[in-house]
């Protein structure tokens, strides 16, 4: 250990602060159909908010989403799932089943049954708060001929 | 609790992953001189990496930094401090004293004595890993006539 003068051991007063912490994470999901890739993407979002094995299937809810293209359909789908969690009934879901999935025509829409339970602090480990879904760098791979269905979505956390 | 069919309780296999987690934090520091604002900025960075009250002053090291303007001087200063931590002697510092601080002329430079100790997991709570210093939205407020000396730096974490 070096020797220091007393004056060298005096710490400066704090003249700093931390601002504007921003972060995001990209979800990549896939499936044997675009529908499955959507379901996987929604579950992935919930999996970021808690540890999914802690979630029991005790109740369900339906959400509906619309969009003028697949990107906006995905955005609104995730946004509805986030809403289901953020507001009553504060549902966290480990299983999603899209029952209607219309991705052609003027107005795209889907209806999804969401299985899970009310989020309870203590029972469900708190993961990271999802603040918003974004369109940033969103990618939809929808190639039935290659059996490739993949989604890339960035969420703000 | 709702009643569900057995098939409704089967969870889907995992077909997703999380990519590219990115985050940053902005440090805002100030002082009665630009030199003090620099010292504060460096300490603030270390304060993000651990809890500073856990850091004892046991050893010291010198760093030098150069730049062609104040922005690049600040960048290289923080980068040297990060290097001091990331490589031998893995120093985490609670006190910085800039002893030479030349911010005019062709080549700006500084020399700083850095007081602290080797980072030891267990003794020092692990804060957030600082991955890189950035020039993004960097601001230098250097207004001696108003006694305003402030720095804003975004670091990647």
Please report where in the chains the tokens 């890739």 appear, as a residue: A37
B26-80 pLDDT tens trace:
999 999 999 999 999 999 999 999 989 999 999 999 999 999 999 999 999 999 9
Distance (Å) from the alpha carbon of A95 to chain B's nearest alpha carbon: 6
In B, minimum Cα distance to A12 occurs at B95
First CA to last CA distance, chain A: 43
User: In terms of CA atoms, which chain A residue is nearest residue B11?
Assistant: A95
Between residues 53 and 92 of chain B, which touch chain A (CB distance below 8 Å)? 57-60
All residues at 6 or more sequence positions from B105 whose CB lies less than 8 Å from its CB, including other chains: none
Contacts of B40 in chain A (CB under 8 A): 12, 14-16
CB spacing of B16 vs A28 below 8 angstroms: yes
| Sign, Cα dihedral of A72, A75, A81, A85 | negative
Nearest CA in chain A to B55: A11
- A34 contacts A142 by C-beta, under 8 angstroms: yes
Classify residue B104 by its DSSP letter.
Answer: S
Higher pLDDT residue, A55 or B13? A55
Written as six digits, the tokens of B127 are 């804060």
Q: Which residues of A touch B59 (CB under 8 A)?
A: 1-2
Structure tokens at A139: 């990618």
pLDDT in tens, B83-128: 999 998 899 999 999 999 999 988 999 999 999 999 998 899 888 8
pTM for this one? 0.66
Radius of gyration in angstroms for the set of CA atoms belonging to chain A, rounded to a whole number: 21
């Amino acid at each position: 250990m070096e020797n220091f003068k007393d004056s060298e051991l005096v710490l400066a007063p704090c003249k700093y602060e931390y601002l504007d912490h921003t972060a995001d994470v990209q979800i990549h999901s896939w499936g044997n159909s675009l529908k499955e890739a959507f379901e996987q993407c929604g579950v992935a979002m919930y999996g970021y908010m808690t540890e999914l094995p802690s979630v029991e299937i005790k109740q369900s809810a339906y959400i509906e989403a619309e969009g003028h293209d697949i990107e906006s359909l995905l955005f609104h789908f995730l946004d509805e799932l986030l809403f289901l969690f953020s507001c009553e009934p504060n549902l966290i879901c480990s299983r999603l089943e899209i029952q209607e999935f219309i991705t052609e025509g003027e107005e795209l829409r889907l209806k999804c049954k969401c299985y899970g339970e009310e989020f309870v602090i203590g029972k469900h480990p708190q993961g990271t708060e999802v603040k918003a879904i974004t369109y940033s760098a969103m990618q939809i791979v929808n190639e039935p001929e290659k059996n490739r269905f993949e989604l890339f979505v960035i969420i703000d956390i």
